Amino acid sequence: MLGKILSFAGAATLMVLGASASAGAEQLTGSELKQFVNGKRVYLATPFGGEFPLNYKSSGAVTGDGTALGLGKFLAPKETGRWWVRGEALCQQWPTWYDGKPSCFRIMKTGEQSLTWERDDGRKGKARIEG
DSSP assigned state of 8: H
pTM (two decimals): 0.77
Phi first, then psi: give them for residue 69, nearest 5 degrees.
Answer: -90, -5
**Higher-confidence position of 108 and 47:** 108
Q: Which CATH class is domain 2-130?
A: mainly beta
> β-strands 26-27, 89-93: how paired?
unpaired
pLDDT of residue 32: 92
Taking only the tens place, the pLDDT of each residue in 82-113 is: 999 999 999 999 999 889 999 999 999 999 99
pLDDT of residue 75: 61
Rounded Cα distance, 107 and 101, in Å = 20
